[in-house]
Amino acid sequence: MFKLPREDETFPTRCVIEAPAGEGSEECEITVHFRILPARRFAELAREGDDALLAELIGGWNYVCDAEGEPLSCTAANVAAAAELPYFTLGVIRGYQDRFAPVKNYKGPLGF
């Protein structure tokens, strides 16, 4: 049975952030509790900017820390600050798309 998600429902999803570390990067796993957005709303928010899109998508998170390594609560201000980091936004959007809009399953509007 297919059920539409509730408006307030979130879905915990593993996301990998490739954060700068020294001369390279390190993979940091976080869990983001995503709200599912209709495709049209997603596109509208994407045109407004990363901060607007992530503010709507993210309903919570785990394993996101401040510069000292202390857990960072998922507030509007903290989501906006994280959205300023292109590698954070990339990892979060990639996680969302992998979970809810995987290209491998997309066959177009008519199924092919």
Amino acid at 75: T
CA distance from start to end of the chain: 23
Q: Which two tokens stand for residue 42?
A: 């997603």
Q: How far is CA 108 from CA 46, 96, 111, in A?
A: 21, 19, 5
Tens digits of residue pLDDT in 68-97: 999 999 999 999 999 999 999 999 999 999
Tens digits of residue pLDDT in 26-81: 999 999 999 999 889 999 999 999 999 999 999 999 999 999 999 999 999 999 99
